[in-house]
Amino acid sequence: MAKLFKKNSITTRWAVNNLGVVIVILLLIDIVASVLIRYYYYNSAQQYVINQMSIITSAIDRYANDDRTNYNTEIRGIIENYDHKSQIELMAINLNGQIALTSSGFSPSGNIDLTDFDTAKNSNNGSALVNTKLPSGEKIMAYTAMIAPLGSEFQAIRMVVSLEKVNRQIMLIVLIITLVLAAIVALMIFTGRFFVRSIVNPVRDVNMFARKIATGDFSQRLEKNRDDELGELCDSINYMANELSNTESMKNEFISSVSHELRTPLTAIKGWSETLLDMSDDKETIEKGMKVIIGETERLSDMVEELLDFSRIQDGRLLLNKATIDILAELGETVLIYQERAKKLGMTLEYYEPEMLPFVYGDKNRLRQVFINIVDNAVKYSDSGATISVEAYEEDGDIVISVSDNGIGISEEDLPKIKTKFFKAEQTRRGSGIGLAVADEIIRMHSGTLTVKSELGVGTTVVITLPAIESSANQNKKDKTETINVELITNNDDERTTIYEQQDEQ
């Protein structure tokens, strides 16, 4: 129970905020119901006593006006022969203020509280009703009505009703209501515990599962037992675990791949350095070795720069130095770099260059980096005899650059992950697996798109779309036309005619 209601738990908040409020409301209902029931029964008893007293006093008044009857004898007869003596005790109070007659035939013993009689003597209507106690402690309702005909030895009639039965009835009803309300509370606690547990237990499972994920254990999955929000949470947590597991796997593959990529040039550099130390007179070998060292060093430098770019993207520190650039110059330079390499590998690199394209507002170094990455991938994932096509054109105000190859292609399963960090569709090919992720981020920072279409064993096409900048002449002409259109709307008919003439002259 202590674990169930520990501080700041969901169960504790439910007990305080929900169950506590309900219990307070039910207590108020119980109290109000008790007051209303007591008022109803006491008021009914009072009305009954008042009605009975009205009957008695009416009869006494008739006898008082009849000279043929003995007034005192009739009063004695009324009291002694009272029909409701089992429910109401009828009394007559004499001129000395003492109880002279009772319907039960027994004179009251001890000191009798006659507050009702004293109040009735001083009241305007000559009657008073009070709730009091007998010397025995029994609660009663006493009602006194003054009578004062001439020659009478009695001055008041008093009715006394025991409230014990009324109070017992009230207590019984209140007890029933209290038990019903208590049953409601018990039912709420019973059902509430199941409801809270149905929330708390899955949350605890999620908490334990999250702790396992935090320690690097991605092997387990949460069991989904329902189709509500908790079920959706289980799906989300399992999805997160799958993604983290995939990311962890790709990270490990990335580390392995990068380690291999770093080891290969380092081995070549180390081997040729040791060879060159022992060969001081073979100029051709020295030249060949230095070319290998320089090439592998550049390869290492490119890899390190790629890793730094990825780190900057992850931290949001990748900045662009944007300016108006000729995209064909950057693309043409990239093609020129790889044409010779493709030729040496037995491939054909074709470039379909248009005469002119609109300018682009962007970072030329970063865009060239993207082009190099895309063309390098096309060469990397193609075999000897393959054809690589690079094409640039304008479409709907955008610059479109397409790089196609008929290489090994990408499977339908791997295609959605191709731009994911650390992912490599083909582990046997060189590369770190982050180049395309960096390229995609750079293109997005230029408000463009990078899409990959591929079919396994057929080839791959990468399409880059960048927004173009309109030429100054076209922009000025557009501005003038917009100005004329505004004038046409706002000026009167004569001014419109003049504007049309000016527009024709232009």
pLDDT at 498: 38
Mean pLDDT computed over 449-456: 90
pLDDT of 314 strictly over 70: no
Are 244 and 354 contained in the same domain? Answer: no
Q: Which residue has the tokens 């054809």?
A: 387
Residue 501: pLDDT band (50, 70, 90) is very low
Residue 171: pLDDT band (50, 70, 90) is very high
pLDDT at 43: 92
Which has more pLDDT, 38 or 16? 38
Residue 106: other Cβ atoms inside 10 A: 8
Which has more pLDDT, 505 or 434? 434
CA dist., res. 433 & res. 421, Å (int): 7
**In Å, what is the CA distance from 483 to each residue of 472, 480, 489, 501, 503?**
16, 5, 10, 15, 11
CA dist., res. 438 & res. 310, Å (int): 6
Give domain status of residue 218, yes or no: no
Residue 182: other Cβ atoms inside 10 A: 13
The pairing of strands 387-395 and 348-352 is: parallel
Of 102-106, 380-384, 419-423, 459-463, which gets the smallest average pLDDT? 419-423
Residue 178: pLDDT band (50, 70, 90) is very high
Kindly state the tokens that stand for 125. Answer: 């209507």
CA dist., res. 469 & res. 371, Å (int): 20
Domain that includes residue 38, residue range: 11-169
Which has more pLDDT, 112 or 449? 449
Give domain status of residue 67, yes or no: yes
HEC letters along 128-180: EEEEEECCCCCEEEEEEEECCCCCCCEEEEEEEEECHHHHHHHHHHHHHHHHH
Are 389 and 430 contained in the same domain? Answer: yes
For the stretch 124-149, pLDDT in tens is 888 999 988 887 788 889 999 998 66
How many residues appear in the chain? 506
Q: Is 247 exposed, middle or buried, given 0-12, 13-18 or 19+ CB atoms closer than 10 A?
A: middle
| DSSP label at residue 470 | P
For the stretch 182-213, pLDDT in tens is 998 888 888 877 777 777 777 788 888 888 88
Are 339 and 461 contained in the same domain? Answer: yes
pLDDT of 486 strictly over 80: no
pLDDT of 479 strictly over 70: no
pLDDT at 474: 46
Are 16 and 154 contained in the same domain? Answer: yes
pLDDT of 8 strictly over 60: no
pLDDT at 260: 62
Mean pLDDT computed over 80-97: 87
* CATH classification at residue 400: 3.30.565.10
pLDDT at 234: 83
Mean pLDDT computed over 78-105: 86
Q: Answer whether 393's CB lies under 8 Å from 354's CB.
A: yes
Select from 70, 252, 275, 241 the least CA-distant residue to 154. 70
Contacts of 267 (CB under 8 A, 6+ apart): none
Q: Of 59-63, 105-109, 210-214, 307-311, give the range with the top mean pLDDT.
A: 210-214
pLDDT of 84 strictly over 60: yes
Q: Answer whether 376's CB lies under 8 Å from 356's CB.
A: no
pLDDT of 82 strictly over 50: yes
Residue 155: other Cβ atoms inside 10 A: 20
Residue 257: pLDDT band (50, 70, 90) is low
Q: Which residue has the tokens 């209507």?
A: 125
For the stretch 336-378, pLDDT in tens is 888 888 888 899 999 988 888 899 999 888 898 889 889 988 8
Q: What is the tally of structural domains in the chain?
A: 4
Are 451 and 477 contained in the same domain? Answer: no
CA dist., res. 334 & res. 331, Å (int): 5
* CATH classification at residue 311: 1.10.287.130
HEC letters along 19-42: HHHHHHHHHHHHHHHHHHHHHHHH
Contacts of 252 (CB under 8 A, 6+ apart): none
For the stretch 18-58, pLDDT in tens is 778 888 898 999 999 999 999 999 999 999 999 999 988 88
Q: Answer whether 445's CB lies under 8 Å from 367's CB.
A: no
| DSSP label at residue 471 | P
Are 79 and 155 contained in the same domain? Answer: yes
Give domain status of residue 416, yes or no: yes
Mean pLDDT computed over 243-263: 72
Measure the N-to-C terminal CA separation of the chain; round to a whole number of Å.
90
Are 327 and 303 contained in the same domain? Answer: no
Give domain status of residue 458, yes or no: yes
What percentage of residues in the chain have a pLDDT greater than 90? 19
Residue 457: other Cβ atoms inside 10 A: 11
pLDDT of 499 strictly over 50: no
Are 140 and 26 contained in the same domain? Answer: yes
For the stretch 422-440, pLDDT in tens is 555 555 545 555 778 888 8
Q: Which residue has the tokens 């931290």?
A: 315
Give domain status of residue 91, yes or no: yes
What percentage of residues in the chain have a pLDDT greater than 70? 82
Give domain status of residue 192, yes or no: no
Q: Which amino acid is at 239?
A: Y
pLDDT at 321: 85
pLDDT of 411 strictly over 80: yes
pLDDT at 261: 65
Contacts of 359 (CB under 8 A, 6+ apart): 324, 325, 326, 327, 468, 469, 471
pLDDT of 475 strictly over 50: no
CA dist., res. 257 & res. 203, Å (int): 39
Q: Which residue has the tokens 């008073």?
A: 128
Are 251 and 271 contained in the same domain? Answer: yes
pLDDT at 496: 40
R_g (Cα) of the chain, nearest Å = 52
Residue 497: pLDDT band (50, 70, 90) is very low
Are 281 and 338 contained in the same domain? Answer: no
CA dist., res. 425 & res. 467, Å (int): 30
| Region at 18 (left for phi over 0; alpha for psi -120 to 50; beta for the rest) | alpha
Are 377 and 431 contained in the same domain? Answer: yes
CA dist., res. 224 & res. 226, Å (int): 6
pLDDT of 6 strictly over 60: no
Choose the final residue of a domain: 149, 169, 189: 169
* CATH classification at residue 119: 3.30.450.20
